[in-house]
Structures are given as C-alpha cells and as structure tokens.
Amino acid sequence: MPAPHPAPDRRRAYWLKTLHEWHWVSAALCLVGMLLFSVTGITLNHAAQIEAKPVVTNLQDTLDTALRAHLTAALAVAKAHDGKAALPADLARWVQQKWAVDAGDRPAEWTDDEVYLSLPRPGGDAWLRVALANGEIEYERTERGWLSYLNDLHKGRNTGAAWQWFIDIFAAAALIFSVTGLFILKMHAGNRPMTWPMVGAGLVVPLLLALLLIH
C-alpha cells in the first residue's frame, strides 16, 4: 500500500487548486474589459496623433402655445431651486418624440430668458436650449467618432451609473486576477528561478521611469 501524502503536500495542492480556480474565473470576468482598457490606454496615450473629425447636428423648431405655458409654470419652480429644475414632462416627451433626445430628469439651468440643458455623452456632447420669449428651441449634438467613444468609456466620462458599476466590478476582478497570479507565482517560484527577478523588474522599471524621466 502506498504511503499517504504528507500533510504539507496536500495543503499545497489544495491552495494551488483554489488559487487556479479563482485565477481563471477572475480572468474570464475581466478578459473583455482588460482588452478594452489596454487598447484604449494606447489610443489615449496617442490622442494627439489620432485625428478626430467631429460631426455636428443642429436642429431647430418652435414650441406651440401649450408647451410654452408649461415652461412659464416651470420657471417659477426653478427659481425656487436656485435656477435648476428638470424640463416639464410634456416638453421632455416632445423632444423625445421629435428628435429622439432623452432629457430624463436631468436638471436644466433656468433664467428669465432661456432654459439650457447640457446633455454630455461618451464620444461627444449635446445641449438643448429654449428661448422663453418666443418658444424657439434648438438642439445641437456633436459626435467625435467611435474611438472617442471608447476613450470616454475608459475614463468613465459621462457614462452613467451602470458603466461606473461595471468599472468597479472589473477593477475588483482584475485585482483578484493579479493577486492570485502573484500567489501562484510564489508557489512555482522554487522551480522557476527567473520568477522574482521578472516580478522585481515589473516594479522597478515603472518606478525608475516615474522618478527619473517624468518631470
């Protein structure tokens, strides 16, 4: 009958198996995000060399009497809240149906002359303006292309709560991936003499670059 494995070997096998499971699961969760953030890290680093050609769309119209009456009532509400209030529901529905613009419940800036609503978006910008005197409404949208869109996803710029949650979850998965990878390296380091020199280089090289070449 073969002798049982010593307890340290069983413990090591257990932890190695557990670390590999956590490592591959975290790798699967953050794989697409890692590819996205790696590619956009390069494009952001060379943003000045990558030419963007903005496309501007400008739309104009005039509101009817009923919608203008809602604006007058909403102005009084906005003045009671430091000049900030969402667009009236009827107007928000109108711009949604007319121009496919989702104003939502974003606070607009109200003055005695106009209502201005900023509508920032990944990869571009947009705004909506309504003149209170005559009901003229104008919408302008600027799109800077898919590369700018992906770069804004990288930065989490104007992406909303759902994408911010994704970034947090991705960062946690990437952290688990890195830490479990470090422990796996430690458990195999005895048979791989270049393990710690390579890990050390990964620390020392960016540290030296930061200290010596960044001013």
pLDDT the model gives residue 214 = 87
Residues 39 and 89 in one domain: no
State yes or no: pLDDT of 155 exceeds 80. Answer: yes
- 1 within some domain: no
**Is there a single domain that holds both residue 133 and residue 158?**
no
Residue 89 lies in domain: 55-143
pLDDT at 4 over 60: no
Mean pLDDT of all residues in 5-11: 76
Give the pLDDT confidence of 81-128 residue by residue, as tens digits. Answer: 899 999 999 999 999 999 999 998 899 999 999 999 999 999 999 999
| Distance from C-alpha of 79 to C-alpha of 161, rounded to nearest angstrom | 28
Q: How many domains are there within the chain?
A: 2
**Band of the pLDDT at 5, cuts 50, 70, 90?**
low
pLDDT of res. 127:
97
Asked if pLDDT for residue 2 goes beyond 80, the answer is no
Q: Looking at residue 6, what is its pLDDT?
A: 66
Looking at the structure, tell me whether residues 67 and 117 fall in a common domain.
yes
The answer to the question of residue 178 being in a domain is yes
What whole-number percentage of the chain has pLDDT above 70? 97
Last residue of a domain, one of 108, 143, 178: 143
pLDDT band at 77 (very low <50, low <70, confident <90, very high): confident
| Mean pLDDT, residues 151-180 | 94
Task: Find the range with the poorest average confidence among 59-63, 125-129, 189-193, 198-202.
Answer: 189-193
Same domain, 59 and 127: yes
- My answer on whether 124 and 153 are in the same domain is no
The pairing of strands 108-110 and 114-118 is antiparallel
Does residue 2 belong to any structural domain of this protein?
Answer: no
The answer on pLDDT for 3 being more than 60 is no
Q: Quick check: is 123 in a domain? A: yes
Same domain membership, residue 171 and residue 114: no
> Helices marked H in 84-159 — which ranges?
89-99, 146-155
- CA distances to 48, 158, 169 from 163, rounded to whole Å, are 26, 9, 10
Q: Residue 57, by phi and psi: left (phi above 0), alpha (psi -120 to 50) or beta?
A: beta
Q: Give the end of a domain, one of 124, 143, 162.
A: 143
Query: What pLDDT is stored for residue 94 in this prediction?
Result: 95
Average pLDDT, the chain: 91
| Total-model pTM | 0.81
| pLDDT score at 49 | 87
Do 155 and 104 belong to one domain?
A: no
Contact 135, 69 (CB under 8 A): no
Residue 152 has pLDDT above 90, yes or no: yes
pLDDT computed for residue 61 by the predictor: 96
The answer to whether residues 83 and 115 belong to one domain is yes
* Domain termination site, one of 143, 159, 179: 143
> 101 and 157 share a domain?
no
Residue 131 located in a structural domain: yes
**Banded pLDDT at 38 (limits 50, 70, 90):** very high
* H/E element, 109: strand 108-110
d(C-alpha 128, C-alpha 143), whole Å: 15
Q: Tell me: do 182 and 134 sit in the same domain.
A: no
Q: Do 133 and 154 lie in a common domain?
A: no
Q: Are residues 112 and 163 in the same domain?
A: no
